[in-house]
Copies of this chain bind each other. A is one copy, B any other.
Amino acid sequence: MPLSAVSQSTNHDFPERLRRVADLVEARLDALLPKPAGHQAVIFEAARYAALGGGKRLRPFLTVETARMLGGPMDAALTVGCALECLHVYSLVHDDLPCMDDDDLRRGKPTVHKAYDEAIGVLAGDALLTQSFEILSEADLSADVRVTVISELAKSGGMSGMIGGQVVDITVAEGERDEALITELQAMKTGALIDYAVKAGGYVAGASYTELEALSAYARDMGLAFQIQDDILDVTGDAETVGKAVGKDADLGKATFVSILGLNGARDRAKALGVQAKNHLEPWGASAQTLRQTVDFVLEREH
User: Number of A residues contacting the other chain (C-beta, 8 Å)?
Assistant: 58
Cβ of B171 and Cβ of A42 under 8 Å apart? yes
Number of copies of this chain that the complex holds: 2
CB-based contact A163/B133 at 8 Å? no
Decide yes or no whether A60 CB sits under 8 A from chain B.
no
In the assembled complex, A137 has its CB within 8 A of some CB on chain B: yes
Give the docked Cα–Cα distance between A131 and B262 (Å): 38
Query: Chain B's nearest CB lies how many Å from the CB of A50?
Result: 13
Q: Which residues of chain B are within 8 angstroms of A185 by Cβ–Cβ distance? A: 39
* B130, A158: Cβ atoms closer than 8 Å: yes
A172 CB contacts on chain B under 8 angstroms: 39
- Report yes or no: A160 in contact with B129, Cβ–Cβ below 8 A: no
Instruction: Note all chain B residues with C-beta closer than 8 A to A165.
Output: 40
Chain B, residue nearest A129 (CB): B129
Q: Is the CB of A34 within 8 A of B160?
A: yes
With an 8 A cutoff between CB atoms, is A252 at the interface? no
Contact A122 B94, beta carbon cutoff 8 Å: yes
From B39, B138, B157, contact of A130 by CB (8 A): B157
Tell me if A181 is interfacial: C-beta within 8 Å of chain B: yes
Chain A interface residues toward B at CB < 8 A: 34, 38-40, 42-44, 47, 90, 94, 97, 99-100, 117-123, 125-127, 129-131, 133-134, 136-138, 142-144, 146-147, 150-151, 153-155, 157-160, 163-168, 170-172, 181, 184-185, 188
